[in-house]
Structure 1
Amino acid sequence: MPNLDRGGSVLEAVGVDAFEERVYRALLGLPDSSAADLAAALREPARKVSRALARLEGLGLVRRPEGRRFAPVSPEAAIGMLVNQRRAELDEVRGAAAEFVDAFRLRDLRNHATHPVEVVSGLDEVRRFSVGLQHNPEKSVLSFDKPPYATPPAGYDEVAAERPLLERGVEMRIIYERPALQLPGRLASVTELVRLGEKARTLPTLPLKLYIYDRRLAIIPLSGSHVSEAIAVVHPSALLDALIALFEAYWERATPIGAVPARATDGLSSQEARVLTMLGAGLSDQAIARQLGVSLRTARRRITAVMEQVHAQTRFQAGAAAAHRGWI
């Protein structure tokens, strides 16, 4: 608490010093006063009082309608506003402190791990820890991408989030479970990431969700639901080596996903190229319809037209045509 015997201020916590509080208290008793009036009442220099009034006006404690004399703003409203503002600032400090703790913890996990596996639990802890790792890889990210997913924050852009990593040369090798590519717009995002430098492949199924950062740390969500309340953090150990080997074994079996051209090429329009790529990636007719934003009947017409254009009688042959063009 402020020490008033030493000239402290009750309002110090919201940014009002002792002299400014004296001026505000005087104005509460002498509303509609000029700076000179208050200076005389306080027996203080007019310039000093004017500076205090300007500061109080900036804080919303004092008003001066159309440049006339000063009047106090209702303490209940004005001080309440300052308290709420300071509370918001403290919340930001608390958030920054959590980031500092995460950075310290990440360093500790990378450099001073004493156990091969550590469990991080709690939605907020898992989210902060995971986000910190996603933005800090130095060399590589290996991942099994498998639904279900947590709901992304509003405005989340997968391409924008990964682009900085690719631009600074981080190797991104991602294996997508086929249902992941069937989500609306997902294949378009993945092919754009491939164009930017991601190495992507797909398989019908994957055994688990997995993230390996710089081959030094692995994350395994411990919940099968879309929200993970706990993750296993695997440090350098035989278990980490086994997870890396598991990833490489699945990588060899997976089908590559190439970048679909943005313009007409090889006799196909960009949309026809997308359809051919989706066929090669094993997407169902329903999934292709969702990706294109059209009805199932329209999607089937387009699928038939593309298969005829590349002389494919089966989806396997369509996949071979897409692979020949480098799109899977």
Structure 2
Amino acid sequence: MLSDVLGLTPEEADTYHALISVASATPAELAESVGCDARQVVRILGMLEGRGLAVRSLGDTARFVASPPAALRALLVQRQNELKLAELELDSLDEIYRTATLGRGAADVVDVIRGTGAIRERIRQIQLGARTEVMNFAKAPVFSAGNMTDGAVIARGVRYRAILERAMLDEGATSFDEIVDARAAGEEVRIAETLPLKLFIVDREFAIVPLLGAATAGKAGALLVHESSLLDALIALFESEWERATQIVTSAGAVQNGSAIEDLDAQILSLSLTGLTDQAIAAQLRTSLRTVQRRVRHLMNVARVQTRMQLGFQAARLGWLDAERDRNRTA
């Protein structure tokens, strides 16, 4: 909303909207219109006067008149200038941080984060602050709200790659619907049989490694790894697991010769190739075991193969698993 960008409170925005819709009004009249106490409206009008959005009527100083909406442009320009200055300051802080990082000793490469709340908040902060890329190993047990990132991060052009351990689907920690929503937002998602650890890497500059085995909030901990050979190793580990993990296909539009199969076929194929049982696939897709088995047989007929192993090979040969390429082509 424009009021949010300009720093107006909801009460100030409502009062200005009410005032601009009439020729003039007293605080009492505005209070009735916006549903506030008259004394509160007097205070709000004083704030709007200070911002140049309201003035007293020349004919009756007890009445107020709204300034033209063009007056908001001055506030908008001021806010834009403030944002530019803030961006310059952030660039300067980044440079100071990088310089300090180069001088880190061995003891300064890793910081310790203690407590589930602190870990969750730090992960949220680094994801929201990402500039180029976030890489994520998602592994049970889940201690933070949601396994997928905020779509607003991806909307800024940040690449987000996540590898989910298959057990998260088996145990219901992550649903197929969440994966569909994440891919629709632009996230790249793959499934691995197992993952060695939980991991968040941001902009290839630092990583958070939540420590497994501490189930209680008081004992939970994580390592914050700064630029170092250790971080390089974590990045290499992620890229290695990424190459081995199975891509997720969520619609027939993400496969070649898509007219031969339906969306449900593509989803069953994708989940089957991650190693999920037919029963688990049926639960994830909210369908019956019989339907899953019938659809698998249909896919084998389309691919002209006799076994599921052959189906996986043929699906890869036909490009049915090239989910990321399709996403980039249709974006």
TM range (shorter): 0.5 to 0.7
| Residues 255 and 273 of structure 1: CA distance in aligned 2, closer, same or farther (over 3 Å) | closer
* Structure 1 residue 162: Cα displacement: 3.4
Structure-2 residue corresponding to 1:214: 203
* Maintained 8 Å contact 2:109/2:227: yes
State yes or no: 1:296 paired with 2:284: no
* Structure 1 residue 215: Cα displacement: 0.5
* Maintained 8 Å contact 1:259/1:327: no
State yes or no: 1:253 paired with 2:244: yes
Which 5+ residue runs of structure 1 have no aligned equivalent?
Answer: 1-52, 59-102
Instruction: For residue 230 of structure 2, give the secondary structure of its aligned residue in structure 1.
Output: helix
How many residues align? The count is 226
TM-score if structure 2 supplies the norm length? Answer: 0.58
Within-5 A mapping of 1:172-251: 172-182=160-170, 184=172, 186-224=175-213, 229-251=220-242
The percent of aligned pairs where both chains have the same amino acid is 37
* Maintained 8 Å contact 1:126/1:230: yes
Distance 2:310 2:130 in 1: 39
Distance 2:226 2:140 in 1: 25
Structure-2 residue corresponding to 1:305: 298
Cα deviation, 1:133-181, whole Å, max 9, x if unaligned, reads 12111111112222221363xxx694xx432222221122222222234
Distance 1:250 1:180 in 2: 16
| Equivalent position to 1:271, from 264, 270, 295 | 264
The residue type equivalent to 2:287 in the other structure is V
The residue type equivalent to 2:270 in the other structure is T
* Structure 1 residue 242: Cα displacement: 1.3
| Residues 195 and 316 of structure 1: CA distance in aligned 2, closer, same or farther (over 3 Å) | farther
| Residues 123 and 251 of structure 1: CA distance in aligned 2, closer, same or farther (over 3 Å) | closer
* Structure 1 residue 260: Cα displacement: 2.3
* Structure 1 residue 122: Cα displacement: 1.7
Cα deviation, 1:258-304, whole Å, max 9, x if unaligned, reads 45236993211211221122222322112201112134344333333
Cα deviation, 1:208-229, whole Å, max 9, x if unaligned, reads 1111000111011113366662
| Residues 179 and 168 of structure 1: CA distance in aligned 2, closer, same or farther (over 3 Å) | same
* Maintained 8 Å contact 2:251/2:264: no
| Residues 127 and 133 of structure 1: CA distance in aligned 2, closer, same or farther (over 3 Å) | same
Instruction: For residue 124 of structure 2, give the secondary structure of its aligned residue in structure 1.
Output: helix
| Residues 186 and 242 of structure 1: CA distance in aligned 2, closer, same or farther (over 3 Å) | same
Distance 1:117 1:168 in 2: 29
* Maintained 8 Å contact 1:183/1:291: no
* Structure 1 residue 121: Cα displacement: 0.5
Q: Which protein is bigger by CA-based radius of gyration?
A: 1
Which 5+ residue runs of structure 2 have no aligned equivalent?
Answer: 1-36, 43-89, 323-331
Structure-2 residue corresponding to 1:318: 311
* Maintained 8 Å contact 2:127/2:153: no
| Equivalent position to 1:287, from 246, 261, 280 | 280
Structure-2 residue corresponding to 1:146: 139
* Structure 1 residue 183: Cα displacement: 5.3
* Structure 1 residue 119: Cα displacement: 0.6
Distance 1:310 1:316 in 2: 12
TM-score if structure 1 supplies the norm length? Answer: 0.58
Instruction: For residue 131 of structure 1, give the secondary structure of its aligned residue in structure 2.
Output: helix
* Maintained 8 Å contact 1:192/1:259: no
The residue type equivalent to 1:178 in the other structure is R
* Maintained 8 Å contact 2:252/2:266: yes
The residue type equivalent to 1:268 in the other structure is I
* Maintained 8 Å contact 1:166/1:172: yes
Cα deviation, 1:236-259, whole Å, max 9, x if unaligned, reads 112111111211222233333345
| More off after superposition, 114-123 vs 170-179 | 170-179
